[in-house]
Structure 1
Amino acid sequence: MHKNIRFLEKWSSVQIITVGFLFIILLGAAILSLPISSRSGQWTNLVDSLFTATSAVCVTGLVVLDTATHWSLFGKVVIISLIQIGGLGFMTIATMISLIRGKKINLKERLLIQESLNQIDLSGIVSLTRKIILMVFIIESVGGILLSISFIPKFGLIGGLAYGFFHSISAFCNAGFDLMGSISGEFSSLTSFYDNSFIMITVSLLIILGGLGYPVILDVLKNKRFSKLNVHSKLVITSTVLLLLVGFVFIFGLEYNNPDTLGNMDMKGKVLSSIFQTSTLRTAGFNSIDLALTKEPTILLMIILMLIGASPASTGGGIKTTTVAVLFLTVKDFLCGKDEIHIFERSISFDSIKKAIVIFFIAIFIFIVGTLVLSITNPQFSLIECVFEVMSAYATVGLSIGGSPNLNTIGKFIIMILMFLGRVGSLTIFTAILSINIAKKDKNIRRPKGKIIIG
């Protein structure tokens, strides 16, 4: 036992987080494969169970088995539990358990929480965790109650509450799992509620709140006025609003006359579906229209928005709004001949710019390789279907136009790997792997500068 503890102490924070997520996925897959987890009382294929557990823990929403019709009540409870763990982060859950037990959080655990929540400052990290747990509980509870108001008349008191809280947790955690398969057909998501203002707006707000990031929500609650917010919160809110507006305008305009999507809806349905679909591209995975029937320009827009994703320290994926914002500002200020990159009267550090560039290029590399491998191993998918599926998995979005159930076994493993990379963070995983072999002394070596012609 003591040997195992000493062995773990030698691991870096990113290595423990990576292995921790993997352990939870494997445990979830083992439980979901049991007969008690399926509605039929039969064993579930281990690959499909692993796919479902990966999608739940990585809060993605891609499924190969319809959640409502395949899984039993026990299985659904397991899935929503995995979603909650994945949304909060297993270190946050572990901290909550330790606090309940009255256990002190040591320095190693604080460093793990800091890495898990993507925080810069270590001070006050336990207090921040307490606030996050309370905030998540309040938001999901309010969302659950609001959704239950619409679901209780349809499913009864117990059923309505179950549906309300399941979809509230799934929406806030940006997971995209739904229970509508037994109501409106398998893999139908929320398409039957496209004109229900209450459900569409409530789910959209939960998705947006989950995608803003815990530090931003707490900063807004503390300072209330935009001018008093820190520069990170200002950048996140500004970029999020801009992306939501751009997404809404393009989806509404491009699909307005498409008879297969918005064309046959009244104005209320068109507006609600455009708002909802733009919000869900923040990496949530719900849909109110059949995405396979959207126009190709709309699909291209959705791929771009999925790549950007949500914001840091949130329940969403993607390369993050701040990464894209920093890259955009870097290009703009470079073209303007400015020596410093700045926003909201604050300069952006070179380390932040360098990290944004690394994250962007790793994402593009994984996206290209993933698309290539998936298109080779799953020839039944068109190229654009492969591109969409890969981006949806890597950005932990959960939307599909080719149909995840149509993937072969190799394709399912490819998507699982992409979901894992997207949730844990490709930069985190590569750092965890490379840190095993890179000697620390190499970091102190300074070499002569070489001149390279660029452009």
Structure 2
Amino acid sequence: MKIFSDNIIRRLRNFRENVNIMLYDSKSRAMGALDFLSIIAALVGVAALLFDHGFENTERNSAAIHFMFRSVIVFYYVKFFLGYLYSFSPKKYFREYRVNGILLGIILCVLIYDATSPVFVNDLLKTVLDVDNPRMFSVVVEQVSFVILLIIEIGRASSFLPSMQMSAQKLFVLSFVVLILSGTGLLMLPKMTVEGVNLHFVDALFTATSASCVTGLSTVDIAMYFTLRGQIIIMFLAQLGGLNIITFATFFLILSKKSIGIKNQALIKDSLDERNFSDSMRLLKEIFYSTFIIEGVGAVLIFFNWSNNTPFLDFYQKAYYSVFHSIMAFNNAGFSLFEGNLFNFYCRNAYVLQFVITALIFLGGIGFPVIKDVLGDFFFKKKGRINRKWALNTRIVVFTSLALIVIGTTFFMIFEWNSSLRDHPWGGKIIVSLFQAVTARTAGFQSVDFSILMNPTLILLMMLMFIGASPVSTGGGIKTTTFAVLVLSAINTIKGRERINVEHSQISNSAVLRAMTILLFSACFVILGTIVLSFTDPDKEMIGLVFEQVSAFTTTGLSTGITPDLSTGSKVTLIVSMFMGRIGLLTFGFALINKIKAEPDYKYPKARIIVG
């Protein structure tokens, strides 16, 4: 029997080798044609999705959309099979395209189910997963698999993009422009808003920008204006915006079947501020692992800590709300599905829930390199690196973040003890103060009534917003390291020292100059934005306008409640502020410069200038 099976395997292998030899001359042409057709198929698939989920369709239109779906799926089956035929190493091919194979397998199972609709499968879905409508469940599974397959195929078909002459800064800026415009277009589709709601272009652009730049400001109540589809679009915009250029770099890196060239390695390395490409790749993978693990654990914790009287319709709505708020918290976005944000009646006294969200905000805002450094011993273990000393950047970030949290919590509690905190018990006052001190560092959730906050509290929150989160995180602001370098520089100036030494390490002059530049540019932009807001909305209180501008530029999302009532000019001003705050003024400046000239080797004589 073994001899017979070996003989069969040998014959099949010989047959395959003969087929490879016959097809060798046409391989490059065939694969090129498949790549081109894949772009066409992807566009058809995207169009089908847009028509299916964005518009009210007639029976005739639904049939056409169904045909488009099936045609694209058939094409990808053919492409997968032809790719296998043209491959000289079947194991390598299946390993490289295993995700495609799994997705096509899932879609095939759904197609078989749709054709046969076996009773035992229906009973299994109803009993185990509590699915009331198995047919609708199969459609959801098929379309989710189809969307993932489309994303992968678009990534593989986009091999022409790396050849574009574009710096990391330009790619960063362009990626956000594309994300915002795509989100705006999607949110304006009829099925994205509830019936009877007419979403204006500026409001759609504002919402898409706020979500993509993980801000949380909104001119409309997303729970009342947007359908489930629209809310999911906002959630995905926040997820992609939170990961920013890392998402796009990984998109081309992981999904493209072609090797990564030297130029693109440099783009990825620069975008992550790592020393070499291998470190960037390692950090890239760890970012994705940690992001989805933290968001998943956060969603579970949120699920079990909703208030008992929260009016969820069923298990699935409760799970959806949990996932939505977990993603928004970790990405420091600040959107909520409750009217009034977390000041809603069902959330304002849910102290454990607020503490979980606080932890997610803190992890999202502390920066991925710091998470890797602090938690690396537990999640990313490497030989010889256990119990190692934290990097200087990590120590500065952790110390500065904790100091700001303690200071913010203490002063918020002092200022608001008998005001917005008066209805909370003693322990609740501490939790709510902690929550607001952390969320002010670019998250934007609100668990108190901001319309009654005292002016000292608003000024405190603006200071926390302006400092913001940490580098390579999901938050905004000038960043904790920038603030720490500025403070250390000021202390050294007072002491008459020229060098900044921290724990046997010297901070470079270039870092100090960069920190000062960021502070100057950011302060000037906030002042300029406030001037424009006061001109376009002269009837609003000045402190409210300043608060709104700082919140937008630092991508925080906190508001005193005036955002929906702002004029179109003010909304556009905040849109620009959110965009500039997310990409960074320095990054935008670098993107405008084609080539930075090297500094000359010679030096001029030093000149004395009276300062101060």
Tell me which amino acid in the other structure corresponds to 2:347: F
Task: Name which of structure 1's ranges 331-340 and 220-229 shifts more when overlaid on structure 2.
Answer: 220-229
Decide which of 396, 417, 428 is 2:576's aligned counterpart: 417
Residue number in structure 1 paired with 2:416: 255
- 1:190 offset after TM fit, Å? 5.1
- 1:375 offset after TM fit, Å? 0.6
- 1:108 offset after TM fit, Å? 2.9
**Root-mean-square deviation (Å):** 2.4
Decide which of 280, 288, 292 is 1:137's aligned counterpart: 292
- 2:304 counterpart SS class: helix
Decide which of 202, 209, 212 is 2:366's aligned counterpart: 212
Report if the CA contact (8 A) 1:28-1:82 is conserved.
Answer: yes
CA separation of 1:407/1:446 partners in 2, compared to 1, >3 Å: closer, same or farther? farther
CA distance in 2, matches of 1:164, 1:245: 28
Query: Does 1:280 find its partner at 2:439?
Result: yes
CA distance in 2, matches of 1:404, 1:350: 40
Tell me which amino acid in the other structure corresponds to 2:416: E
- 1:414 counterpart SS class: helix
- 1:13 offset after TM fit, Å? 1.3
Decide which of 499, 504, 510 is 1:345's aligned counterpart: 504
Tell me which amino acid in the other structure corresponds to 1:451: R
Residue number in structure 2 paired with 1:427: 586
CA distance in 1, matches of 2:279, 2:449: 45
Per-residue displacement from partner, 1:159-183 (whole Å, max 9, x unpaired)?
11100000000000000010012xx
Tell me which amino acid in the other structure corresponds to 2:413: F
Decide which of 176, 182, 194 is 1:27's aligned counterpart: 182
Residue number in structure 1 paired with 2:333: 175
Task: Name which of structure 1's ranges 97-106 and 123-132 shifts more when overlaid on structure 2.
Answer: 97-106
Report if the CA contact (8 A) 2:307-2:346 is conserved.
Answer: no
Decide which of 409, 430, 448 is 2:604's aligned counterpart: 448
Per-residue displacement from partner, 1:56-80 (whole Å, max 9, x unpaired)?
0000000011111110111011000
Runs of 4+ in 1 over 6 A off after TM superposition: 224-227
CA distance in 1, matches of 2:282, 2:518: 29
CA distance in 2, matches of 1:230, 1:7: 33
Task: Name which of structure 1's ranges 120-129 and 155-164 shifts more when overlaid on structure 2.
Answer: 120-129
Decide which of 267, 276, 281 is 2:426's aligned counterpart: 267
Aligned length: 445
- 1:410 counterpart SS class: helix
- 1:109 offset after TM fit, Å? 2.8
Residue number in structure 1 paired with 2:462: 303
CA separation of 1:126/1:383 partners in 2, compared to 1, >3 Å: closer, same or farther? same
Query: Does 1:85 find its partner at 2:240?
Result: yes
CA distance in 2, matches of 1:103, 1:41: 48
- 1:92 offset after TM fit, Å? 2.3
Tell me which amino acid in the other structure corresponds to 1:380: D
CA distance in 2, matches of 1:227, 1:167: 34
- 1:93 offset after TM fit, Å? 4.4
Residue number in structure 2 paired with 1:69: 224
Tell me which amino acid in the other structure corresponds to 1:26: L
CA separation of 1:316/1:326 partners in 2, compared to 1, >3 Å: closer, same or farther? same
- 1:252 offset after TM fit, Å? 0.5
CA separation of 1:160/1:187 partners in 2, compared to 1, >3 Å: closer, same or farther? closer
Per-residue displacement from partner, 1:387-428 (whole Å, max 9, x unpaired)?
100000000000011421011111111000000011111110
CA distance in 1, matches of 2:427, 2:161: 61
Task: Name which of structure 1's ranges 442-451 and 384-393 shifts more when overlaid on structure 2.
Answer: 442-451
Decide which of 377, 382, 394 is 1:233's aligned counterpart: 394
CA distance in 2, matches of 1:430, 1:222: 34
CA distance in 2, matches of 1:380, 1:227: 57
Residue number in structure 1 paired with 2:146: none
CA separation of 1:317/1:161 partners in 2, compared to 1, >3 Å: closer, same or farther? same
Per-residue displacement from partner, 1:96-130 (whole Å, max 9, x unpaired)?
46425555333333333334334455442112101
Decide which of 173, 176, 197 is 2:351's aligned counterpart: 197
CA separation of 1:373/1:120 partners in 2, compared to 1, >3 Å: closer, same or farther? farther
- 1:445 offset after TM fit, Å? 7.6
CA distance in 2, matches of 1:252, 1:7: 52
CA distance in 2, matches of 1:166, 1:100: 26
CA distance in 2, matches of 1:375, 1:26: 27
CA distance in 1, matches of 2:604, 2:184: 51
Decide which of 323, 344, 356 is 1:165's aligned counterpart: 323
Query: Does 1:10 find its partner at 2:162?
Result: no
Tell me which amino acid in the other structure corresponds to 1:158: Y
CA distance in 1, matches of 2:221, 2:191: 16
Percent identical pairs in the alignment equals 37
TM-score of the superposed pair, with normalisation by structure 1: 0.92
CA distance in 2, matches of 1:328, 1:122: 33
Tell me which amino acid in the other structure corresponds to 1:361: L
CA distance in 1, matches of 2:554, 2:345: 22
Report if the CA contact (8 A) 1:191-1:288 is conserved.
Answer: no
Query: Does 1:149 find its partner at 2:308?
Result: no
- 1:192 offset after TM fit, Å? 4.0
CA distance in 1, matches of 2:520, 2:201: 34
Decide which of 404, 407, 418 is 2:566's aligned counterpart: 407
Report if the CA contact (8 A) 1:283-1:310 is conserved.
Answer: yes
- 1:94 offset after TM fit, Å? 4.6
CA distance in 1, matches of 2:456, 2:581: 25
Greater relative CO, 1 or 2 (CA 8 Å, sep 6+): 1
Residue number in structure 2 paired with 1:367: 526
Decide which of 548, 566, 573 is 1:389's aligned counterpart: 548
Tell me which amino acid in the other structure corresponds to 1:169: I
Task: Name which of structure 1's ranges 377-386 and 238-247 shifts more when overlaid on structure 2.
Answer: 377-386
- 1:228 counterpart SS class: coil
Tell me which amino acid in the other structure corresponds to 2:611: I
Q: Unmatched 5+ residue regions in structure 2?
A: 1-35, 37-158, 379-385
- 1:266 offset after TM fit, Å? 1.6
CA distance in 2, matches of 1:319, 1:440: 23
CA distance in 2, matches of 1:119, 1:416: 31
CA separation of 1:352/1:239 partners in 2, compared to 1, >3 Å: closer, same or farther? same
- 1:311 counterpart SS class: coil
Per-residue displacement from partner, 1:41-63 (whole Å, max 9, x unpaired)?
65521111110000000000000
CA separation of 1:177/1:306 partners in 2, compared to 1, >3 Å: closer, same or farther? same
- 1:39 offset after TM fit, Å? 1.5
Per-residue displacement from partner, 1:259-284 (whole Å, max 9, x unpaired)?
xx112222122111101101101100
Query: Does 1:335 find its partner at 2:494?
Result: yes
Q: Unmatched 5+ residue regions in structure 1?
A: none
CA distance in 2, matches of 1:426, 1:18: 11
Report if the CA contact (8 A) 2:306-2:350 is conserved.
Answer: no
CA distance in 1, matches of 2:559, 2:537: 15
Report if the CA contact (8 A) 1:34-1:44 is conserved.
Answer: no
Please tell me whether Structure 1 or Structure 2 has the larger radius of gyration of its CA atoms: 2
CA separation of 1:362/1:15 partners in 2, compared to 1, >3 Å: closer, same or farther? same
Report if the CA contact (8 A) 2:191-2:227 is conserved.
Answer: yes
CA separation of 1:7/1:128 partners in 2, compared to 1, >3 Å: closer, same or farther? closer
Report if the CA contact (8 A) 2:243-2:474 is conserved.
Answer: yes
CA distance in 1, matches of 2:248, 2:591: 22
Tell me which amino acid in the other structure corresponds to 2:224: T
CA distance in 1, matches of 2:362, 2:244: 18
